[in-house]
Amino acid sequence: MQDLPHNYIVSASVEGAKNVTVSAAGLPDLETAGPPQFGGPGDVWSPETMLVGAVANCFILSFRAIARKAKLDWLTLECSVEGELDKIEKFTQFSGFKVMARLTITDEKYRKKADVILEKAEKYCLISNSMKAPSHLEAEVIVAD
């Protein structure tokens, strides 16, 4: 890892009522719009879905890094995140994130270690740690046949 602090630069642009284009150097552009709940079309990413997706993505990347260091033998990890948007003290904001993880391991003997690493992945996810809203993990560990 490079020394901290790291800086990430993302830009967004739009022409009139068209979809927003989100850009970052060296990456493909991403077309976005408001979500259907705010009158958006529902067929492109929204800031809300991108934020919830960032929580899921960061959880998996955090897990992978911790599992590699702990030498956990695992096969697959699926993660679904539900973000709840609500009005809190006159402001619309995310009030919480439910992280649902499904991990497949190679042997029952790794279950306890897997549970510990899943908890650490939630605790150390830098995206979740960077937001006001708490993140809550619901994890399921599956043993492959």
| Residue 85 located in a structural domain | yes
How far does Cα 31 stand from its chain's mean position?
19
Q: In 6-144, which residue ranges form alpha helices assigned H by DSSP?
A: 47-70, 111-124, 126-129
| Residue 75 located in a structural domain | yes
Q: Which domain holds residue 93?
A: 52-143
Structurally, how many domains does the chain consist of? Answer: 1
99-132 in b/e form (b: 16+ CB < 10 A) is bbbebebeeeebeebbeebbebbbeebebbeebe
- Kindly report the number of other CB atoms within 10 A of residue 136's CB atom: 13
Q: Does the pLDDT value for residue 133 go beyond 70?
A: no
Q: What is the DSSP track for 46-60?
A: -HHHHHHHHHHHHHH
pTM: 0.88
| Residue 2 located in a structural domain | no
Q: Does the pLDDT value for residue 93 go beyond 70?
A: yes
* DSSP 3-state of 109: helix
User: How does pLDDT run across 11-64, given as a tens digit for each residue?
Assistant: 999 999 999 999 999 999 999 999 999 999 999 999 999 999 999 999 999 999
| 140/76: higher pLDDT | 76
Q: Does the pLDDT value for residue 142 go beyond 70?
A: yes
| Residue 110 located in a structural domain | yes
User: What angle in degrees, to the nearest 10, is found between the helix axes of 111-124 and 47-70?
Assistant: 130
pLDDT confidence band for 135 (50 / 70 / 90): confident
How far does Cα 124 stand from its chain's mean position?
12
| Residue 47 located in a structural domain | no
For range 1-14, the mean pLDDT: 93
| Residue 63 located in a structural domain | yes
pLDDT of residue 81: 97
| Residue 99 located in a structural domain | yes
Sheet holding 30-32, edge to edge: 11-13, 20-23, 30-32
- Kindly report the number of other CB atoms within 10 A of residue 139's CB atom: 20
Q: Does the pLDDT value for residue 94 go beyond 80?
A: yes
CATH number at residue 130: 3.30.300.20
Average pLDDT of the chain to the nearest whole number? 95
| Residue 3 located in a structural domain | no
For range 1-17, the mean pLDDT: 93
Q: Which residues contact 2 (CB under 8 A, 6 or more apart)?
A: none
pLDDT of residue 1: 83
